[in-house]
Structure 1
Amino acid sequence: MTKPDPKVVQLIEENAQCLRANEPKDYDSILSAIGDGQIVLIGEASHGTHDFYSHRAEITKRLIQEKGFTIIACEADWPPAYRVNQWIKSTSTSTIKDAEDSLRDFTRFPPWLWRNKVIVDFLTWLRQYNENINDRKAKVGFFGLDLYSLQSSREEVLKYLGNHAPDLLRLARKNYRCFDRYTDEHEYGVCARANITTSCRKEAIKVLTKMLERHAEIVANEKSTETELEESFYAMENAKIVREAEKYYRHMLDGGQIAWNIRDTHMYDCLKDLLEHHGPGTKAIIWAHNSHIGDARETERSRSGKLNIGQLVRERFGIEKTYNIAFTTYTGTVTASDNWDIDPDFKRVRLALNESFEFLFHQALVKSPSLSQHGQYFLLFRSNNPSIEISKELCQELRKQRLERAIGVIYRPRTERQSHYLDASISAQFDCVIHIEITRALRPLEIHPTWAEAEKDHIPDTFPMNV
């Protein structure tokens, strides 16, 4: 076992700030460090951890109430997220019964990312918050930034044109018919990339061009209502998704870099569109995995040419207008699958590797009675508020590259080093890190029998844990 680095452990102990259960005031230093930032990115070290979701929701509530943030933009598909947006703003023309019903369209793998109890409770809070706001523009919105929804997005474009622009509907149907010969997006990507058939690139661009022209006309028309502007914007973004998803699936076999960059660039562009659509001064909160919201330039991914939305936001808005918050854990449980597109399981998270940041954070916690009492704390690496003191020595030490764990929707403990760790400079990658020693698996709304059985058999870890 690697021996502790006493200097670094001591620095972490000296600068760590405890987080107690059900004490929102403990986030005060984080809120102060965010300052007047316009974009706050809040991550997660896995896509299936209750504690990450819960803390993220509570921080978001305070950003909304105290700092006027009105956009929540997520690593989620645009169409199903927009159904949620309609419900929390009470603008839906259809009957959506409650928060769980608003999440109905999140059916694509992995559904538990959004169909879980933490999200239901948070959306219920959002709906109640918005009901007390009379100004429609001041209501908080919920949006998806992702591009996987090729099929559902093109259906939404056609639906919009059928209701509002029958003259363009024929052209859109003709061009989008190009995708009909494929069972799904993946089949399209394989066939187009292998030149088995011609791509639908030109057809997607033709429709997008017309949608952009139509939206520009609606924006320029002083008689356009807010409803017309909103519906046009929603449809235009769907047309953009069809274009970008076509490109993404066509390049998904080329290797990780190209497809990854297409996706994260689209997420940034969608965020930019949301901010422009909602007007000057709009503030946005981004919910996505740590691997998306941290600055990619401070990880090994930069060497392979990968960028991410966290990097793009810092570069194009200026770091002083942004703030990103990451999560880490030492051990616990997680909801994840063994492979893509299969049912989730209740999995134990292995103890963090000795060469990792998570292990350092663990060492500091078990050596400090005050930290181990609560099992969670945070470290600040940067502040937009000059009154917040930041330890330069701590930042310098944690800028040295170490391993950092990242669990997605798939978790493979047997190959954890190869599958779930990357080299990173954590204090440069993130502005704040919240460490939770023992985390709990996210509980899906739909419980699979294997998940329930594993949860039943699990024996929780307890403090103190051996170093």
Structure 2
Amino acid sequence: MKYLYSCLILFLSLFANAQNIENKDTIKLNSISPGNNQFDDLKPLKEIIGDAQIVLLGEPTHGEGNVFEAKTRLVKFLNQEMDFNVLAFESSLYDFHKIYETISEGDSKVDCLKRCIYPIWTKANEFQGMLKYLVKQNTKLEVTGFDCQFMSEYSQEMLLGDLFILSEKLNFKLNEKELQFLNETLNYLSESFDVPDTYNLKHLIRLINRFKLKLNRLDTHKIINKHPVHLWQQVFFNIKEVATDYHQNHPSRKSREEFKASDSNTRDALMANNLLYFIKHNPNKKIICWGANTHFANQLKALNNKELSSFVPMGRILKKELGDKNVFIIGSTCASGEYASISEKSKTVPNPPKESIERRLISDSITNAIITLNKEDSLVCSALDYRPLKGKWGKVFDALLFIKETKRCNLYQGDFNYEEELEDLNQVVAKTSQSRTSSYKSIRQSDIYRTILGKIIMQKNDEPIPYVNIGLKNDAIGTISNMKGDFKLNITNKNLQDTVCFSCIGYKIQYHPIKEFLNASKSEIKMEAQNYDLNEVTISVERLTAKKILRKTIRAIDKNYSQKAYTQDVLFRIESEQKKSSSKYILEYINRTFDSNGYKPRWLFMTSVKEDRQRLATRIANLDSTGRFQHKFRPIKLKYIGFPAYQDLINYRKNCFLNPMKWFRYDFQLSDTLKYNGQTVFRIDFKCKYPSHRSTLQIRASKYYGYMFINMADNAIVKIETYTINDKSKIHNAVKYKAYESENIWFERDVVLYRKQGHNYFIDYAYHYDNWQTKSSSERFGFKATLLKSKSFKIPKTSTTVNDDFWSTYMQHHRYRNKYQHQNIKEFSKN
């Protein structure tokens, strides 16, 4: 009887809690779509959130697509209805301070946001509404980051360069070893999230203290290297603390089973510190935070879980520092469906227990809602990685966003769509149109009589034409076509007798009366190409920069150049002099090369190169003083032939100008667009400001510069040419280099050409010339490459004798008879 009485009391208590959740504290949501701008259902949040300065919006696992959409709608409500004006992401602190600097250099805001915000969000289709809103709001909703990690693009590409420049402005110069050490440190922090056991943490702390000593002497608000002193102090604090955590605790080495919640204590403390740093310097800002439930939680000791009781999340730290009422936490939970980030396999949400919050809401036929939680109610909930946990959830979150059925995140595969942002389009058209002197005006929604839809294609092959100017002949109303050639043009009833003009450089202008479009649901406009006696002009909606093109090129390397093992026959030709007789000769040999890595980045030149060679044939011919053959080629057997000095700079990109970590050492310039081998290419010139063997692949370089051609169609590098002037002072045995002494300059020239074979590019031709001892030149002619399944290669122990017919096949290479002229030394030395 006593047992039945206890059960009855428990049932009544649970029923009362369920009633309490359903009737009093449940805000049913009419929609979670980010496109829904009617916020009547969310208005009760105004009273619940009150005067809180910070609202934390959590998510269970970073893998719930419609949670992203629901949070986007909440951000819009908080921004528009409650005057929250900052959105802070669980993303790198340093990166968000680079946005406006790079926008001023010509980068678009959406590109900058994608470099700052972690790709678990930016690459998700369900996050695109948030991106669009941030671009549209511009300064009305500021963005920042609070994560201590250095995972985003700006950290990877620009932080080392910024620290180098900062050291010079602080009047102390980092030497080469210190730069290399900083480079390695930032690589560890941004790529491996760990440091080796042999890592010299004390050296890092000494190096950071040198910076801090200089910075502490300055006013904290003084701008140095484009940012205030207090930002640099915060960045160095993060570098030191994160490196220390990785060195002492090695959190990334632990398996999922070994990793405990308390292993995140350092990161959460740093994230809270970064947000408090932002608040200190922006005391009047109202902030929305976007991140994970686990980081935003408050008192995890309120849950009956021993592991979680030792974890101190950033939400707890913020509540203690700023006060409970100043920080409002909204966690998220889902009752069913699938979840997964863009790079993961789908997982099914476990069925919630009968006594859980999720099950009660389902039984009450609630689909989407926000539930405010009582701090004293004992409940079961699965908001933390879908583990059902019992406890006082009102002490963990102030409220809970409930979504009955979640959907996994999907990869976004389109281009960012500006189509609906008419004001933004008008600004773009005003900047890019070469046929109009005034910008297009926008039409009020109430004045729109009709929207004309259409697609613009080429007359010759029906390919879409992007960025066509479309405007009325007698009014300033207009738009442009998007990347797919589609457009929509709003008109008023006053425009019905007007004419639409279609204009684009490279095509004949067309005029069509508006009446032609009124009876069609979607019109198709075919434009005819027109030839001009002008150099080629490239039109783009956003200003192209050399670094912007290079970023796309680097991202496309995996697609353009094989990442699998391959073999390729290569004809080598070396023209040189014999040391004793000074007679000239040409040496040719054919290798069957095998590369087990493919085009994967290698850290240092001539190290870790997984390449073997099978010698197929070798021959030699003497030359007279004019460079003519004295005799025919004769076959020879050589045990060893020196490695020809060509450099496959794409393969070695970790140690040259294709490594963004080294960009602070270079100047880049987009100098031209031109035709090359039937392709339209960008020409990008580069010059190394601070040459060393770590940034140029040249051991003694004092000057290093060159250019590259990048195919506009697929962002592939098709040609690289480099010039190196070597430092005389670094030559250990100057007597050995007589040519250098007599001509007062020692230089090298390299040319590498790439040709597409099937889906990938491989070396087609490489040329090297130097004026060392013998003024030798070498050429490499690449033939058909074959991708291999196996990564093993056996060099035959015996070689076969070949005849002239064997050589004739290899002499058919289309560049075999081409000769590059040797560089004029005097002209070379001027550069």
Q: Shared fold (TM-score greater than 0.5)?
A: yes
Matched, 1:124 2:129: no
Deviation digits for residues 136-182 of structure 1, max 9, x if unmatched? xxx61232424254997486443223334413440696176067399
Aligned residue for 2:48? 33
Match of 2:144 in 1: 142
Distance in 2, Cα, partners of 1:446 & 1:168: 46
Question: Does residue 281 of structure 2 align to residue 277 of structure 1?
Answer: yes
Could you list the per-position Cα deviations for residues 105-163 of structure 1 after superposition, in whole angstroms to 9, with x for gaps in the alignment? 667xxx333322343322332232235x6xxxxx6123242425499748644322333
State the shift of 1:293 in Å: 0.8
Query: 1:113 maps to what in 2?
Result: 121
**Comparing 14-23 and 98-107, the one that deviates more:** 98-107
Amino acid at match of 1:430: F
CA contact (8 A) 1:334 1:349 kept: yes
Do residues 307 (structure 1) and 312 (structure 2) align? yes
Contact residue 158 and residue 173 of structure 1 kept, 8 A: no
CA contact under 8 A between 1:78 and 1:149: conserved in structure 2?
no
User: Map of 1:392-403 to 2, 5 A cutoff?
Assistant: 395-396=375-376, 399-403=377-381
Answering whether residue 72 of structure 2 is matched by residue 57 of structure 1, we say yes
CA distance in 2, matches of 1:430, 1:181: 37
> SS of 1:345's equivalent?
coil
* TM-aligned CA distance change 1:100 to 1:116, over 3 Å: farther
Q: What is the deviation of 1:313?
A: 0.7
Q: 3-state DSSP class of the match of 2:329?
A: strand
Q: CA RMSD in A?
A: 3.6
Whole-angstrom CA distance in 1 between matches of 2:122 and 2:18: 36
Structure 2 vs 1, CA of residues 284 and 176 (structure 1 numbering), >3 Å: closer, same or farther?
A: farther
Partner residue of 2:28 out of 8, 11, 18? 18
Q: Note closer, same or farther for the CA distance 1:349–1:150 as it changes in structure 2 (3 Å cut).
A: closer
Cα 1:52–1:210 shift into 2, 3 Å: farther
Aligned-pair CA distance for 1:232: 4.5
- The aligned amino acid for 1:126 is L
* CA distance in structure 2 between the aligned counterparts of 1:170 and 1:182, rounded to whole angstroms: 15
CA distance in 2, matches of 1:172, 1:145: 30
1:424-463 paired onto structure 2 within 5 Å? 424-445=391-412
Q: What secondary structure, in the 3-state scheme, does the structure 2 residue paired with 1:158 have?
A: helix
| SS, match of residue 272 in structure 1 | helix
User: Structure 2: which amino acid aligns with 1:29?
Assistant: P
Aligned equivalent of 2:241, options 241, 244, 247: 244
The unaligned stretches of length 5 or more in structure 2 are: 1-10, 415-831
Cα separation, 1, equivalents of 2:208 and 2:301:
32
Q: 1:76 aligns with which of 72, 80, 91?
A: 91
TM-score, normalising length from structure 2? 0.42
How far has the Cα of 1:241 moved from its partner? 2.5
Separation of aligned partners in 1, 2:371 and 2:185: 52
Relative distance call for 1:284 and 1:149 in structure 2 (3 A) is: same
CA contact (8 A) 1:298 1:424 kept: yes
1:6 aligns with 2:15: yes
- Cα deviation digits, residues 36-58 of structure 1 (max 9, x gap): 11111111122111222122222
Residues 218 and 44 of structure 1, relative CA distance in 2, 3 Å threshold: same
CA contact (8 A) 2:331 2:383 kept: no
Quote how far apart the aligned CAs of 1:20 are.
0.2
- Residue 348 and residue 19 in structure 1: after superposition, are their counterparts in 2 closer, same or farther (change >3 A)? same
Q: Taking structure 1 as reference, are residues 304 and 220 closer, same or farther at Cα in structure 2, changes over 3 Å only?
A: closer
- Paired with 1:240 and 1:281, the residues of 2 have a C-alpha distance of 25
How many residues end up aligned between the 2 structures? 386
Q: Which has the higher strand share?
A: 2
Give the whole-Å Cα distance in 2 for the aligned partners of 1:400 and 1:422.
10
Secondary structure at the aligned position of 2:55 is classed as strand
Is the partner of 2:279 in helix, strand or coil? helix
Matched, 1:326 2:331: yes
1: distance between equivalents of 2:156 and 2:309?
33
* Distance in 1 (alpha carbons) for counterparts of 2:346 and 2:47: 36
Shift of 1:441: 1.8
Aligned residue for 2:712?
none
Deviation at 1:34, TM superposition (A): 1.3
Which amino acid letter does the alignment assign opposite residue 87 of structure 2? I
Q: Is 2:336 aligned against 1:344?
A: no
Candidates 365, 375, 378, aligned match of 2:370: 378
Shift of 1:98: 5.1
Question: How many Å separate the matches in 1 of 2:409 and 2:56?
Answer: 20
What's the counterpart of residue 93 of structure 1? Answer: 104
CA contact (8 A) 1:328 1:436 kept: yes
Amino acid at match of 1:379: I
Structure 1 residues 260-269 or 280-289, which shifts more? 280-289
Cα gap change, 1:169 to 1:361, in 2 (>3 Å): farther
One-letter amino acid of the counterpart of residue 310, structure 2: G
The answer to whether the Cα contact below 8 Å between 1:82 and 1:144 also exists between their aligned partners in 2 is: no
Within a 5 Å distance, the mapping from 1:360-379 to structure 2 comes to 360-363=360-363, 365-366=364-365, 371=366, 375-379=367-371
Cα displacement string for residues 183-203 of structure 1 (whole angstroms, at most 9, x for unaligned residues): 7458684632xxxx2x43323
Q: 1:173 to 1:69 in 2, by over 3 A?
A: farther
User: Shift of residue 312 of structure 1?
Assistant: 0.5
Computing the radius of gyration over CA atoms, which structure comes out larger, 1 or 2? 2
CA gap of 1:182–1:18, structure 2 versus 1, over 3 A, is: closer
Match of 1:158 among 157, 160, 166: 160
Identity score, percent? 18
Q: For the residues of structure 1 that align with 2:44 and 2:176, how far apart are their CA atoms? A: 51
Q: Please give the TM-score of this superposition, normalised by the length of structure 1.
A: 0.71
Gaps spanning 5+ residues in structure 1: where? 134-138, 338-342, 382-393, 408-415, 448-467
In 2, distance between residues paired with 1:188 and 1:443?
Answer: 26
Note if 1:297 corresponds to 2:301. Answer: yes
Q: CA deviation at 1:306?
A: 1.1
Pick the aligned partner of 1:316 from 310, 321, 332: 321
* Distance 1:275-1:216 versus aligned 2 partners, 3 A rule: farther
Letter in 1 for 2:108: K
CA contact (8 A) 1:78 1:144 kept: yes
Distance 2:167 2:147 in 1: 26
> Where do residues 250-265 of structure 1 align in structure 2 (5 Å cutoff)?
250=247, 251=249, 252=251, 256=260, 258-265=262-269
The structure that is helix-richer by fraction is 1
Distance in 2 (CA, whole Å) between partners of 1:437 and 1:48 is 15
Q: Secondary structure of the equivalent of 2:227?
A: helix
